[in-house]
C-alpha cells in the first residue's frame, strides 16, 4: 500500500469516535504519553463527557423566493441620463430615433422591470437601461422611468425629464445660411 493511502487510512481511523479508556504515563525522558492501552506505571484518566448540542432545524434549501415575495432592492439612484433635462434635440432629414439612457444604482433586480413613460403614457418596458424613442412629433415632451415589480407595483420613480424636439417643417424651406446662392438664369 502506498504511504499516502496508509497515512490517510490511519488518520481516518484515528478520527472515528471510540468509547475507550485513556491512560497517562511518563517515559524515561520525562515525556508525557497518552494512550488507550495501559502500561506498568500508567494512570487511568477519567474524561468528562463532551456536551452534545443539537443542530438547528432548518427547512429545505430553496432557490425560489420566499412566500412573502422577493427580497426588496433599495435603489439609490434612478434618473434619465440622456437626453438631459431641458435639452433641445434637433433632427435632420431622415432622423427619427432618440436614444434614452437610464442611470440606475444598484443594478436592476431580477424580479423588477424598467418602464419608460413618454408624456405620461407607458411607452416601453425592458430590463436594460436603454430605450429608443421612434417617430416622436416635434415639440416639448416629458420622460419618466419607473422600476416595477413583475406584478406591477412601483418600487421607485425617476424625476420627470423634459426635452424639446426640433425639426424643419416640410412647409418651410431649410435655411440657406452659409450656402452659396443659386445663379440666376
Domains and CATH numbers, the chain: 77-167 (2.60.40.10)
pLDDT for res 150: 86
State the pLDDT at residue 158. 95
pLDDT of 33 reads 84
Cα separation values, 96 from 133, 167, 169, Å:
8, 10, 14
- Kindly calculate the radius of gyration of the chain based on its CA atoms and give it in whole angstroms: 38
Q: What's the chain's average pLDDT?
A: 80
- 71 to 76, 105, 149: CA distances (angstroms): 16, 16, 11
CA distances (Å), 176 to each of 94, 167, 173, 180, 181, in order?
19, 15, 9, 8, 8
What is the spatial distance between Cα 106 and Cα 88, in angstroms, rounded to a whole number?
29
Q: Mean per-residue pLDDT for 153-164?
A: 94
Give the whole-angstrom CA distance, residue 180 versus residue 2: 95
142 contacts 157 by C-beta, under 8 angstroms: no
pLDDT tops 50 at residue 152: yes
Distance CA 124, CA 128 (A): 11
Lowest mean pLDDT among 19-33, 140-154, 169-183: 169-183
CA neighbor of 115 nearest in space, from 83, 143, 147? 147
Q: What is the pLDDT of residues 40-88, one digit of tens each?
A: 888 888 877 777 877 777 766 555 544 444 555 799 999 999 999 999 9
Sequential DSSP letters for 78-122: EEEEESPTTEEEEEPTT--EEEEEEEEESPPPTTEEEEEEETTEE
Cβ-based neighbours of 113, under 8 Å, separated by 6 or more: 125, 126, 127, 147, 148, 150
Cell of 163: 426635452
Q: What is the mean pLDDT of residues 131-144?
A: 91
**Contacts of 28 by beta carbon, 8 Å cutoff, 6+ apart:** none
Provide the whole-model pTM. 0.55
Query: Residue 90 has which C-alpha cell?
Result: 434637433
Amino acid at each position: 500500500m502506498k504511504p499516502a493511502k496508509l497515512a490517510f487510512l490511519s488518520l481516518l481511523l484515528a478520527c472515528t469516535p471510540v468509547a475507550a479508556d485513556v491512560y497517562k504515563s511518563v517515559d524515561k525522558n520525562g515525556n508525557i504519553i497518552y494512550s488507550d492501552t495501559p502500561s506498568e506505571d500508567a494512570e487511568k484518566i477519567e474524561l468528562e463527557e463532551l456536551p452534545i448540542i443539537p443542530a438547528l432545524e432548518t427547512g429545505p434549501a430553496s432557490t425560489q423566493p420566499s412566500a412573502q415575495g422577493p427580497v426588496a432592492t433599495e435603489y439609490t439612484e434612478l434618473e434619465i441620463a440622456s437626453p438631459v433635462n431641458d435639452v433641445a434635440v434637433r433632427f435632420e432629414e431622415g432622423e427619427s430615433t432618440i436614444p434614452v439612457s437610464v442611470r440606475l444604482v444598484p443594478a436592476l433586480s431580477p424580479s423588477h422591470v424598467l418602464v419608460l413613460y413618454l408624456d405620461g403614457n407607458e411607452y416601453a418596458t425592458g430590463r436594460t437601461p436603454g430605450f429608443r424613442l421612434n417617430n416622436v412629433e416635434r415639440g416639448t415632451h416629458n420622460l419618466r422611468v419607473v422600476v416595477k415589480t413583475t406584478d406591477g407595483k412601483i418600487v421607485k420613480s425617476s424625476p420627470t425629464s423634459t426635452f424639446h424636439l426640433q425639426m424643419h417643417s416640410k412647409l418651410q424651406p431649410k435655411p440657406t445660411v452659409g450656402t452659396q446662392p443659386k445663379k440666376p438664369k
